[in-house]
Amino acid sequence: MAKRIQFSRHGGPEVLEFVDYQPAVPGPHEVRVQNRAIGLNFIDTYFRSGLYPPPALPSGLGTEGAGIVEAVGAAVSQFQVGDRVAYATGPLGAYSELHVLPASKLVKLPDAISFEQAAAVMLKGLTVQYLLRQTFALKGGETILFHAAAGGVGSFACQWAKALGVKLIGTVSSTAKAEKAMAQGAWATINYSHENVVERVLELTDGQKCPVVYDGVGKDTWETSLDCVAPRGLLVSFGNASGAVTGVNLGILAQKGSLYVTRPTLAGYADTPEHLQGMADELFGMIASGQLQVEIGQRHTLADAAAAQTALSARQTTGSTILLP
């Protein structure tokens, strides 16, 4: 028997239950991981609330964690008992002492990276890796726009862009968040609560706009983002924090300069074990070299997951939050 967080109905944090459960025996291609640290992310609240329906109820929760391999399936050859591993892309059930998942979802964790660092950085860090290194392969010298630059993904993007020699303009909602983004490596910030984003981008780029704009906000920033992309440039719409972008008229891309638009996902880039491990290796290398700092602002026990989610939803957290079994 082991402990886990589960929910039997949708709702607020109060529906989360800390229960005993019997972990499954790994199937032929599966691995059972003894979690040492678990990542907390906004997407977890979407499954809990029912915005994203889980496969069935009752359901486990969470997709990100790090720990030690405890058991392997008969067909698994790339991992063995005792290996240090991390994961970020499911399936649901990471909020647990023991988690069974496909071996294809795991990466090997080098000794230089702690379990807590891995649990705090995997999902956000791998997202930044594919955005900056693959969706638009930044080479250095570019001036880019990144929305919500002081957020979890944005903070890592600021650091990574600076390491690449890229000038990142970050949008923020307050002076405090502007200061945070600048401290993380942003080249400039735009406080959209009182500044016009498009006008400021034109000023900062001498009227050239940006070859790529990264937009994880969605509906509320869609039009603004399009107006900040240089002719034949790329708008990367990778999230929908304010709601999904709908009703898009492709003709607007022609009107605004023969623009490109993509809607990528982490799963679309980490689509093979080899791709996933390669992305993780680059991420871990950035951390080991000191170019990427992992800020863990909050640590909660696994039993205290409801309080941790409450704080996250109320925007009372800084950096990453992790759960400790």
User: In this predicted model, what pLDDT tens digit does every residue of 253-289 receive, in sequence order?
Assistant: 999 999 999 999 999 999 999 999 999 999 999 999 9
What percent of the chain is predicted at pLDDT more than 90? 90
Q: Which residues of 12-26 are buried (b: 16+ CB within 10 A; e: fewer)?
A: ebebbeeeebebeeb
Q: What is the mean pLDDT of residues 125-151?
A: 97
Q: Is the pLDDT of residue 51 over 90?
A: no
Q: CB-hemisphere CA count at 13 Å for 259? A: 26
Give which of 321, 316, 323, 312 is closest to 42, Cα–Cα.
312
Give the pLDDT score at 316. Answer: 82
Give the pLDDT score at 78. Answer: 96
Q: pTM for the complete prediction? A: 0.94
> Which residues make Cβ contacts (< 8 Å) with residue 164, sequence separation at least 6?
132, 138, 139, 140
Give the pLDDT score at 321. Answer: 94
Give the pLDDT score at 240. Answer: 81
User: In this predicted model, what pLDDT tens digit does every residue of 4-46 receive, in sequence order?
Assistant: 999 999 999 999 999 999 999 999 999 999 999 999 998 999 8
State the pairing for strand pair 65-72/30-40.
antiparallel
285 φψ region: left (φ > 0), alpha (ψ -120 to 50), beta (else)? alpha
Q: What is the mean pLDDT of residues 82-100?
A: 96
Render 69-116 in DSSP notation, one character per residue: EEEE-TT--S--TT-EEEE-S--S--SBSEEEEEGGGEEEPPTTS-HH
Give which of 239, 142, 148 is closest to 189, Cα–Cα.
148
**Mind spelling out the 3-state secondary structure of 167-229?**
EEEEEECCHHHHHHHHHHCCCEEEECCCCCHHHHHHHHCCCCCEEEEEECCCHHHHHHHHHHE
Q: Is the pLDDT of residue 315 over 80?
A: no
Residue with tokens 């980490």: 270
pLDDT band at 69 (very low <50, low <70, confident <90, very high): very high
User: In this predicted model, what pLDDT tens digit does every residue of 149-162 receive, in sequence order?
Assistant: 998 899 999 999 99
Give the pLDDT score at 314. Answer: 85
Strand order in the sheet with 16-21: 16-21, 2-7, 59-60
Give the pLDDT score at 137. Answer: 96
Q: Which domains does the chain have, with CATH numbers?
A: 2-121+271-324 (3.90.180.10), 140-263 (3.40.50.720)
User: In this predicted model, what pLDDT tens digit does every residue of 189-209 receive, in sequence order?
Assistant: 999 999 999 999 999 999 999
